[in-house]
């Protein structure tokens, strides 16, 4: 619902913030509560690794607009709110919003409710990105 040329131009104009990311880390990228198994107070398993990649830890789910967990940040020992980190998180937020939208077609989702959610979520994500 957003012209490709517009998306590309806006992303390219912000890519310089990625220059500080020089050491990739393993990022699960879908590390929400339902994918973490805990037994007797200890993490015993992580599931659902299809989005995993080597990248910037700020890509992780609990740094996203969806959750933005203070406790998760504390576990990393940082609030991650300087201008560069905020700009990178905005890029990652847009990236996941684009995936949520695009995967509707590659995964052949047929739920009209889900398709509408993905469409509306992308437009809301675009507004957050541009703010």
- 37: domain CATH number is 3.90.1200.10
Number of domains in the chain: 1
pLDDT in tens, 36-88: 999 999 999 999 998 899 999 999 888 878 777 788 888 888 888 899 999 99
What CA dihedral angle connects 56, 94, 5 and 130, to 10 degrees?
-110
- Domain of residue 101 covers 4-130
Question: Considering the chain, what is the average pLDDT of its residues?
Answer: 93
At residue 75, the pLDDT reads 83
Judge whether residue 31 has pLDDT over 90: no
What CA dihedral angle connects 50, 53, 59 and 65, to 10 degrees?
-10
pLDDT band at 9 (very low <50, low <70, confident <90, very high): very high
DSSP state of 53: E
Judge whether residue 131 has pLDDT over 80: yes
Structure-model confidence comparison of residues 72 and 113, the more confident one: 113
Structure-model confidence comparison of residues 107 and 66, the more confident one: 107
């Amino acid at each position: 619902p957003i012209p490709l040329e517009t998306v590309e131009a806006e992303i390219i104009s912000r890519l310089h913030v990625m220059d500080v990311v020089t050491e990739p880390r393993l990022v699960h990228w879908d590390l929400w509560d339902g994918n973490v198994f805990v037994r007797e107070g200890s993490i015993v398993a992580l599931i659902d690794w299809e989005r995993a990649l080597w990248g910037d830890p700020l890509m992780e789910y609990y740094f996203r607009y969806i959750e933005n967990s203070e406790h998760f940040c504390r576990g990393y020992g940082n609030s991650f709110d300087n201008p560069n980190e905020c700009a990178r998180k905005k890029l990652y937020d847009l990236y996941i919003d684009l995936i949520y939208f695009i995967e509707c077609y590659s995964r052949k989702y047929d739920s009209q409710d889900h398709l509408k959610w993905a469409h509306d979520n992308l437009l809301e994500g675009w507004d957050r990105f541009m703010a």
